[in-house]
Amino acid sequence: MRDCILDRFGRLDILINNAANNPKMEARNGKNFARLEDFPLDTWEADLRVGLTGAFLCSRVFGSEMARRGQGGVILNMASDLAVIAPDQRIYRDENLPEAEQPVKPVTYSVVKTGLLGLTRYLATYWHKSGVRVNVISPGGVYNGQPDQFVDRLSRLIPLGRMANIDEYRGAILFLCSDASSYMTGSNLVIDGGRSCC
């Protein structure tokens, strides 16, 4: 992909690392595999490969090209509010299930998103002399037709009282990918309706 971009445009300026598995909170064969005690090792490894190793590899390939050129560039990693706060497992509860079967946010989601914060800081200091800026966004949940009970529970944890609309992160992405943020690198822009400040 790097070579195709260079052949077509002669340069590359922006990389957005946004790939991730979205680990589900589903039961299989009577077990809730999202729970830590039963979380499959192969799922752990797959989630880390896509979300964290994938960001590392893309940053290495595209960031190295930006650094080699010496004319700057931007890497933007997409984390989550769950990179700065722990999941509140109460919002996933199903009162009809015993404790050992309660749905939870899978462990890999927070681990991958927190890892992106560390990768961001590392790359920001690694390529600083070449002008490659590396930042990360930690967005809150986006409303996308989730069950009413979940939306209500989550919204009560957010000072603005709601989940984000699907288009509310565009401005932040444009800001961090443009010269408007030319003095930002290694930063985590938290956009979560105030959830992490409580």
Domains, the chain, with CATH or none: 2-192 (3.40.50.720)
* pLDDT, tens digit (0-9, with 9 covering 90-100), for 7-29: 999 999 999 999 999 766 565 55
pLDDT band at 198 (very low <50, low <70, confident <90, very high): confident
Please give the model's pTM, rounded to 2 decimal places. 0.93
* pLDDT, tens digit (0-9, with 9 covering 90-100), for 34-85: 899 989 999 999 999 999 999 999 999 999 999 999 999 999 999 999 999 9
**One-character DSSP codes across the chain:** -HHHHHHHHS---EEEE---------EETTEETTSGGG--HHHHHHHHIIIIIHHHHHIIIIIHHHHHHTS-EEEEEE--GGGTS---GGGG--TTS-GGG-----HHHHHHHHHHHHHHHHHHHHSGGGTEEEEEEEE-PBPSS--HHHHHHHHTTSTTSSPBPTTTTHHHHHHHHSGGGTT--S-EEEESTTGGG-
